[in-house]
Amino acid sequence: MASTGFETYGERRFLELETEGVRPNEPRLAEKFFSSRERESGVPRTFGEDAAAEGVSFASKLASERIDFGNYEASRKAFAAGYGIRFGVELGVSNKLLEAVKQTIGFRHRIVHVSPTIAFLNQPESPPDDPVFSKRELAESTLSHFDRFIQALHQATLQLDRRD
């Protein structure tokens, strides 16, 4: 549930910023979410034209078609490229918290794509990592980590420059 909340909040907030008057950096988004071959052949331009014809923004179309906000790295890349929010800098949270969020999203992937009954969540990494088991303490700390992360991300987005 926490991973789904991360995904849902990330995508909604990414799109919401534009409606609040914050312009995303479209060239930087194109650089990060289109291959060099696509960029050289003008795909981002036609992608933007298609978005306009559909009555949506470039960022909105990109978010729905190319950015997987359920993936930590894709979400990190989207906020950094689009709005200059680097998770490890502007959020003001520890690397330990960021790693916990990233790890939990990885656990979700294993649960969904391997088996919903997995209790030994980091089996492929253990050893050398200590084993992580699906227990109440993990659930409580996970909720706390995601809450702190989302609160920090929200605060960082409130600091962005709005259009006049």
Reply yes or no on whether the pLDDT at 49 is more than 80.
yes
Assess contact for 69 and 20: CB atoms under 8 A: no
Query: What confidence score (pLDDT) does residue 128 get?
Result: 77
Angle at which helices 26-33 and 43-53 cross, to 10°: 120
Reply yes or no on whether the pLDDT at 119 is more than 70.
no
pLDDT tens digits, 83-106 = 999 999 999 999 999 999 998 888
pLDDT tens digits, 53-76 = 999 999 999 999 999 999 999 999
| pTM of the predicted protein model | 0.86
Beta bridge partners of 122: none
pLDDT tens digits, 127-139 = 877 777 777 887 7
Reply yes or no on whether the pLDDT at 149 is more than 60.
yes
